Structure 1
Amino acid sequence: MELKDLLLAPLYLIIIYATAFWARSKYTNKFTKKYFIPALSLKLGGAISLGLIYQFYYGPGTTVGGDTGNYYHQAKIILSAFEDSIDYGIRLFFSNGEFVSELRVYTKQMQWYKSPTEYFIIKTAAIFGIISFGSYAVIAMMFAITSFSGLWVMFKTFLKIYPTLTKEFAIAIFFLPSVFFWGSGLMKDSLTLGALGWVFYGFYATFIEKKNILFNFLILFAACYVIYVVKVYILLSFLPPALYWVFTENNSRIKSGAIRALVKPIFIALGLVFAYLGATIITAEDEKYSLDKIGERTRINSVYLSEYQASGSAYHIGTLDGSIGSMISVAPQAIIVALYRPFLWEVRNPFMLLSAFEALLFIFLTLKIILKVGIFKIIGFVTSKPIITFCITFSLIFAFGVGTNSGNFGTLVRYKIPLMPFYLSALYIMNAYLKRPRNTRRLAATE
């Protein structure tokens, strides 16, 4: 970070908090109001902390390093193009990795110019850089605000379904250390986490509530586009359980039990067909995630990451030979490692310790529910509540994906943050039903 960060960050913080207190009066109620400023503050603190960690812990101590530093330094190249010529700046911003002789003086300095995913983050950082005089700290805070906006609408969406679980959803969505640290700074994770919140909000409003359908569908489409460009596998994990949720919601509104039993398999089959078609279409032009190559890609990622950071944080879940069959065989271990590890005795640094405590919370709540009700009753209960079915299914699919692709806890802690609010929210919902079995009707606004 530079001197201008020390000068501009406090000024922008005043503007941000002034705007936040104004927004709080418009977008909160008496139950959610107390969480708005603390949750935003954690996101802003996480953004600044991540930059400092990369500068003084991972970096040389003179400049921000790692991926966040690369995004920033390449965004500054776009800003310099704007300073030289508005025309050059606009052309560089809207380019897609193609060779342009007039822009070569800029593009040859950009490591990720031909990488659509990373270049999208760079262009987003450049937009924020224009309104922040190129300050890293302010750009990072803008990423944090973007992420916070998605998490806030996710929070409000869960409360539409279970309005009595305000504190529980606040913990699950805002107060998990990994989520507000890794999901706040100038990184891919901040944009995708925020976009996932908007996808959840837009999906529920469009297909479940069926309110302001056109407007909410546009929100859903825009948020899906961000995820598609940056981390398409999040969309692939979200799509099947989301479609199944739509079908089960509509199925439950059929009054006749006989017709409902007859139609439900049709809804399930249609959901699977649409999910497969959606996944095929989404990945048709992306070699990394095409369905026929995903097994081999997973093997390469796992081996590379485990070797790249084999410093005590690597884990092994079994042998991956590039086939879909080998991925299925390691699925249980992959899910366990993503949801419940690292264990406390596997901790090697302070960041792993925070992740271990989060995993311990997941283990405690999961075992508490299993021991109280039994595994078979839990399966029946989960499948009877569409929102819980969605949360658990999305979490398991996503845990399987990141568990097989990470290879070490250092990357896993970042990769898995999209599932954490959903899985913990599902656990809190189930725990609430166990605590108040006689008042279960009052828990859910939609029941």
Structure 2
Amino acid sequence: MELRDLLLTPFYLAIFYGIAYGVRGKVTNAFTRRYFIPALTVKFIGAIALGVVYQFYYGGGDTFNYTKHSTTIYNAFGDSPAAAIKMIFADGTFDPLTSRYTSTMAWYKAPTEYFVVRVAAIAALLSFNTYSVIALVFAGLSFSGMWAMYLTFIRAYPLLYKRLAVAVFFLPSVFFWGSGVMKDSLCIGALGWVFYGFYHAAVLKRNVLFSSVVGLLGAYTLITVKIYILLSFMPPALLWVVIENNRRIKSAALRMLLKPFFLLLGVGAGYLGATNLTADDDRYAVDKIGERTKINQEYLYGLTKDQGSAYNIGSFDGSIGSLVTVAPQAIAVSLFRPFLFEARNPVMVLSALEATMFIYLTLMMFYRTGVLRSFRQIASTPIVTFCFLFAIVFAIGVGTNSGNFGTLVRYKIPLMPFYLSALYIMQFQANSAKKLGRFASTEKRASMVARAA
């Protein structure tokens, strides 16, 4: 960060807030309006804080590597606008016009990283290459998708607008790691648009064209940057559609008869979608997931085992069978760790506090509702089924891949809003059922008194 960050950031903040106040009336109602600006503000705070932490605590990192690459494109624009535009839309191939610039860019041929560089370069051209303003642009893009995620949840459960706002916007890890110049910011925003598009187009079947377009744009971003997020999303989402369609069958007998068929159809569609998405990418080929996971986990574990932030989920040889064996530990470590006594730095303390909250809410849900009734409740509420399945599938993936809490806290942020939202929805349903039960009991007693009189 430099002097121009201090000079230009307030000016751009005024512009961004002006846009936000102008848009707010179109995307909020009387209940959600109060959360729009605070939610955007914590995203802006997270974006600036991430840059400060990386500069003064870590002494560098990926966020500055992205802006270093975007600076090359920004400088090229001063020499040759045509070269800079070519670099923004380049696909990693050699071009005589841009070669003197791209030869210095380590990520020029890395599609996932270069996608982030493209976005950062466009933001740099609009902000005089000011890091903090670029970070605010990333925060704004991320916020747009997360607001879409929030609207999707409250479309299903409007009375939960307060708690769902907490789940989506105000988890510290989510607005810190999901706001700055990082892949994670673009991905969690894209995931929000995919969720919005899928729900409105495939489940509600309303505003199908707009929902499909924004959903596909979000899916394209995930495919380009972190395809495994979309791979975790697809099977539970398709199963959700199957369950919804099954519920719309009026005949109970026919519904029960077709349910196994629909379930198999959903699982099969998810598998085919995953294999087709990764057909040309060996990194995510379904038959190589176990092998790639083992390599990544051992590498990250080895980097941090002497720093106290590594974790071990058990013996893992890279096979799918072994992946299934360690899955329970992977789920536990992703959702409920690090424990407070495992925290070694301020970032881990925040993550440990969030994990402790997840433990408490999960235990209280099962304690108050009962284990069997809780599982029946999950199975009978399609959106909750989706949220839990997505969280579990994603938790297995990041839990087995990370190997240390430092990367895990960043990798797992896409699952956190969905898991916490599911817990809040179940809590709301349980409380509503108890109130109805008490009301029915009161009505019954009143009826008995009236008959006795």
TM-score higher than 0.5? yes
Q: Summarize deviations over 1:31-64 as a string: whole Å, max 9, x none.
A: 11111111110000000000011111111xxxxx
Match of 2:266 in 1: 271
Cα shift readout 1:216-260 (whole Å, capped 9, x = no counterpart):
111111110000000000000000000000111111011100010
Deviations 1:263-314 (A, max 9, x none): 1111111111111110001011111110111111000110111111221100
Matching residue of 1:13? 13
Identify which of 215, 221, 228 aligns with 2:223.
228
Measured in 2, the distance between the counterparts of 1:206 and 1:248 equals: 15
2:145 to 137, 145, 150: 150
Percent identity over paired residues: 57
Cα deviation, 1:185-223, whole Å, max 9, x if unaligned, reads 000000000000000000011011111212211111111
Distance 1:97 1:325 in 2: 37
- 2:390 aligns with one of 390, 394, 399: 394
Contact 1:317 1:330 in 2 (8 A): yes
| In 2: Cα distance, 1:212 partner to 1:434 partner | 32
CA shift at 1:3, angstroms? 1.2
What stretches of structure 2 of length at least 5 have no aligned partner?
438-453
1:345 matched residue in structure 2 = 341
Larger Rg: 1 or 2?
2
CA distance in 1 between counterparts of 2:88 and 2:134 reads 17
| Alignment of structure 1 residues 231-310 onto 2, 5 Å | 231-310=226-305
- What is the root-mean-square deviation in Å for CA atoms of aligned residues? 1.2
| Residues 130-187 of structure 1, C-alpha deviations (whole Å, 9 max, x = no match) | 1111111000000000001111111111011001001110110000000000000000
1:433 matched residue in structure 2: 429
The letter of the residue matching 1:138 is V
Equivalence for 1:50:
50
Where 1:68 maps in the other structure, the secondary structure is helix
Aligned AA (2:317): D
Residue 362 of structure 1 aligns with which residue?
358
- The answer to whether 1:385 aligns with 2:381 is yes
3-state SS in 1 of match to 2:154 = helix
How far apart are the structure 1 equivalents of 2:98 and 2:19? 38
In structure 2, distance between residues paired with 1:115 and 1:440: 57
Deviation at 1:374, TM superposition (A): 2.3
CA distance in 2, matches of 1:332, 1:135: 44
Paired with 2:433 and 2:205, the residues of 1 have a C-alpha distance of 30
- Cα distance in 1 for partners of 2:47, 2:89 equals 27
Distance 1:120 1:58 in 2: 24
Residue-by-residue CA offset, 1:415-447 (whole Å, 9 max, x unaligned):
000000000000001111222215679xxxxxx
- 5+ unaligned residues in a row in structure 1: which ranges? 60-64, 442-447
Residues 1:248 and 1:258: Cα distance change in structure 2 (over 3 Å)? same
Query: How many pairs align?
Result: 436
Q: Is the 8 A contact 1:248 1:386 kept in 2?
A: yes
Poorly superposed stretches of 4+, deviation over 3 Å:
438-441
Q: Are 2:33 and 1:38 aligned? A: no
- Classify 1:178/1:19 alpha carbon distance in 2 versus 1 (closer, same or farther; 3 Å): same
CA contact (8 A) 1:43 1:144 kept: yes
Counterpart AA for 1:238:
F
- Counterpart in the other structure of 1:136: 131
Q: Distance in 2 between matches of 1:440 and 1:151?
A: 33
Partners of 1:81 and 1:285 lie apart in 2 by 33
State the one-letter code of the partner of 1:266.
F
Take 1:90 and 1:16, find their aligned partners in 2: how far apart are those partners? 25
| 2:100 is the counterpart of 1:112 | no
CA contact (8 A) 1:433 1:440 kept: no
Task: Find the counterpart in structure 1 of residue 308 from structure 2.
Answer: 312
- 1:169 maps to which of 164, 168, 178: 164
Give, as a single letter, the amino acid of the residue that structure 1 aligns with 2:31: F
Question: Corresponding residue for 1:444?
Answer: none
Read off the aligned partner of 1:133 and give its amino acid letter: F
Partner deviation per Cα, 1:382-414 (whole Å, 9 max, x = no partner): 000000000000000000000000000000000
**1:25, distance to aligned residue in structure 2 (A):** 2.1
Distance 1:440 1:89, change over 3 A: farther
1:181 counterpart (166, 176, 181): 176
Residues 1:330 and 2:326 aligned together: yes
Aligned twin of 2:26: 26
Deviation at 1:97, TM superposition (A): 1.2
Aligned letter for 1:364?
Y
